[in-house]
Structure 1
Amino acid sequence: MSRTPAPRTQVIPARPTPSPPLKIGVIVGSVREGRFADTVARWFVAEMGRRDDMETHVIDLSEPALVDELKLTFERSAAPGDAPTLAERVGGLDGFVVVTPEYNHGYPAALKLAIDYVYQEWRAKPVGFVSYGGMAGGQRAVEQLRQVFAELHAVTLRDTVSFHMAWEQFDDEGRPHDTDGTAKAAAVLLDQLAWWGLTLREGRAVRPYDG
């Protein structure tokens, strides 16, 4: 006597819940008058704007509120008025991209001050770099910054975007002459930032980092 096999129940996999966009801080590390950082930062922020998995939050160290808060001293002070402190701004973000020049084979003093002014808020978060300068393209500044962020338990990304002889790489409208090459370099950096940003955000939610 044969039996009709019971019909198989089709299991439909659950659709993954979309993750909210990563909150990424773009830190403009130069405060010099007439700085080239504005050109580089504007271009990179525009590249980030092409993505829907990230929110851009610019932290410009030349902002009057930040200049007043930092006061070029290591002593902590309250942010002026109702402005959030630098630590509060960093703490609310999922990752960072530092836009930095190279000054005398190093990175700007104002950037070091801002990094040191914050501590725990950097931990277990990814940091990418967009650098510019002369022949070295700011890479010596980036290598020094990697050591600093390692001490703060941040994760620095392998690939960077760098502009060698930067003032020759952009037209009068602030657009790179090599639009395709720079866009691809930015995409590689942002893809890595998205992976690390999401992975570390989920990890901190499950198990707070106490390293």
Structure 2
Amino acid sequence: MLPKLHVIICSTRPGRVGPSVARWFSEFSSRHGKFDVELVDLADFNLPIYDEPLHPAQQKYEHAHTKAWSKSVAAADAYVFVTPEYNYSPPPSLVNALDYVYREWNYKPCGFVSYGGVSGGLRSVQAAKLQMTTLKMMPMMEGVMIPMVASLIDDADTFQSNDLIDKSGVTLLDELLRWTLGLKAMRESIGG
């Protein structure tokens, strides 16, 4: 059985380009052939600003939206966050979604497909990696960075990749697989 990879669309704002990029990366990951890939859209969960009364490490969730998000996060062995950059930072929707659960993230690897203007979202990824490590996740050094993303989306709202982006995608997925297999064995050995 292939490990489960969730490709997560992190932006929830109207007019976002994240779904175009994420659809491409989800299909790209499926063709890679080493993961069972699922495309997950944060917008589908409609998470308000964190509203659970107890700390997420307790996993005593009261709200249906939290329970649904917890189930989704727990189902994956690895994650790729498809994220823009907002003011040198990750979008608030990503920060909030990460904070909603805790144990569900533990000892799992993650990678990033970032996009934006000239920086390609790199500053967003650097800031997000700090938060990931406090959730006991292993962020990959490898990643896919897409500068000037609007120039790569056609009139049909389809992201048009190129050789450099594709090569980065293969490198990310290959490394993510190594960590996924290693951390899954570790989770199994500690009963997680």
Same fold by TM (over 0.5)? Answer: yes
Specify whether residues 104 and 197 from structure 1 end up closer, same or farther in structure 2 by C-alpha distance, changes over 3 A only: same
Q: Between 110-119 and 44-53, report the one with greater CA deviation.
A: 44-53
Which residue is 2:63 aligned to?
78
Give runs of aligned pairs for residues 125-136 of structure 1, distance below 5 A.
125-136=108-119
> Which structure carries more helix by proportion?
2
Q: For 2:113 and 2:120, how far apart are their aligned partners in 1?
A: 9
The corresponding residue for 2:41 is 60
- CA deviation vs aligned residue, 1:99-148 (integer Å, no higher than 9, x gap): 00001111111111110001011111001000001111100000000000
> Residue 29 of structure 1 aligns to which amino acid in structure 2?
C
Counterpart pick for 1:51 among 32, 56, 64: 32
Q: Which digits, 9 at most, give the CA deviation of each residue in 1:28-64, with x for residues without a partner? A: 100011101011111101101103321112221111x
Matches within 5 A, 1:2-13: none
Q: RMSD over aligned Cα, in angstroms?
A: 1.7
Give me the TM-score of the superposition, normalised by structure 2.
0.89
For residues 103-182 of structure 1, the aligned pairs below 5 Å read 103-173=86-156, 174-176=158-160, 178=162, 180-182=163-165
In structure 2, what is the equivalent of residue 31 of structure 1? Answer: 12
Q: Which runs of 5+ in 1 are unaligned?
A: 1-19
Partner of 1:91: 74
TM-score (norm: length of structure 1): 0.81
> Contact 2:22/2:39 (CA < 8 Å) preserved in 1?
no
Distance of 1:200 and 1:74 partners within structure 2: 30
Structure 2 distance, partners of 1:74, 1:98, is 23
Q: For residue 177 of structure 1, report the CA deviation from its aligned partner.
A: 5.2
Calculate percent identity across the aligned residue pairs: 35
Task: Give the Cα–Cα distance (whole angstroms) in 2 for the partners of residues 192 and 159 of structure 1.
Answer: 8
Deviation at 1:88, TM superposition (A): 1.5
Q: SS of 1:140's equivalent?
A: helix
- Unpaired runs of at least 5, structure 2: 53-60
Q: How many residues align?
A: 183
Q: Give the whole-Å Cα distance in 1 for the aligned partners of 2:62 and 2:82.
A: 25
CA shift for structure 1 position 183:
1.4
Task: From the CA coordinates, give the structure whose radius of gyration is larger.
Answer: 1
1:40 aligns with 2:16: no
Post-superposition Cα deviations, 1:170-204, rounded to whole Å, max 9, x if no partner, equal 333424252x2221111000001111101111121
For 2:141 and 2:117, how far apart are their aligned partners in 1? 21
- Distance across 2 between alignment mates of 1:143 and 1:154: 14
Contact kept in structure 2, 1:74 and 1:113, CA below 8 Å? no
The structure whose RCO (Cα within 8 Å, separation 6+) is larger is 2
